[in-house]
Amino acid sequence: MSTFSIFLALIIVVSFLLILVIMVQNPKGGGLSSSFGGSTQQLGGVQKTTDFLDKSTWVLASLLLALILLSNMTISNGNSAPESSLLEGEVIENTIPEEVPAEIPEVPSTEE
C-alpha cells in the first residue's frame, strides 16, 4: 500500500467527520446544545457543546488541508512517460535539416 493511498483513506475519513460535525451544528446558534435543554444557566458540558463543535470544525478543516497538501507531495509519476523530453532536461538536437537547397526558386510575381 503506497503512502498516497494511506493519505487518501485519511482524507476520506476526515471529510466524513467534518461533514458530520457541520451537519450537527445549527446556523442560528441552537444546534446540539438546544436539543439538550439549551438553558445557559446549566452547569456541565452542555453549554460548551457549541464551543466544542466550533473548535472541532476548525481542527478537522485544518487537518484536511494539511492531509491534502501532504498527499500532493507523495504523488509519484511511477513508470509513466513524461509529457515532453524538455521536462527531463534532454537537449533537442538540431531540428533543421542539414541539406538546404542551393538556390531558392523564384516565385512569379502577380503585379502588373
**What is the per-residue pLDDT across 70-91, written as a single tens digit (0 to 9) for each?**
998 888 655 555 555 555 666 5
Boundaries of every domain in the chain:
1-26+48-75
CA distance linking residue 52 with residue 46, whole number of Å: 10
pLDDT tens digit string along 22-65? 998 876 655 555 555 555 544 555 557 778 888 999 999 999 99
